[in-house]
Amino acid sequence: MKRENIVIDKAYQFAVRIVKAYQFISKEKSEYVLSKQLLRSGTSIGANIHEAQGSISKREFIAKIHISYKEAFETRYWLHLLKDTQYMETFMAESLLKDNEELIKILTSIIKSSKS
């Protein structure tokens, strides 16, 4: 799925990676609770960005982008927890954390520019 909008594309690619991480953790590590939280928050980022595209007002758009922003912070938490409990390999967690931080920066920029 390729988009012209960079945040939509990055959030979608991130969600794909999160789904694959969930599949790996649940299959190889038999861990379902923490990884399910990661799956929910990590895929919610892009879902809320997509929903924001259909907003009928600037205020609604900002609110949806802000939800994506908060989901990205929650995703950061789950990634750290899965890494620190050895359910996720450090290299996988660090790579996902890097992408997550990039999304946070983009979402921060969108929120700031939308408010001005």
**42-60 per-position pLDDT tens digit:** 999 999 999 999 999 999 9
CA distances from 25 to 30, 37, 115 (A): 6, 12, 39
Considering the domain boundaries, does residue 33 fall inside one? yes
Is the pTM for the entire model greater than 0.85?
yes
Q: Which of 9, 10, 1 is nearest to 103 (CA)?
A: 10
Statement: residue 2 has pLDDT above 60: no
Considering the domain boundaries, does residue 48 fall inside one? yes
Statement: residue 92 has pLDDT above 90: yes
* pLDDT tens-digit map of 22-38: 999 999 999 999 999 99
Considering the domain boundaries, does residue 1 fall inside one? no
Q: What is the DSSP letter of 62?
A: H
Query: In terms of residue numbers, what domain contains 82?
Result: 6-115
Domain tally for the chain?
1
Count of beta carbons in the 10 Å neighbourhood of residue 24 = 15
Considering the domain boundaries, does residue 75 fall inside one? yes
What is the CATH classification number for the domain harbouring 43? 1.20.1440.60
Considering the domain boundaries, does residue 93 fall inside one? yes
Considering the domain boundaries, does residue 90 fall inside one? yes
Tokens at residue 20, please? 């694959």
Considering the domain boundaries, does residue 30 fall inside one? yes
Helix (H) or strand (E) holding 76: helix 58-84
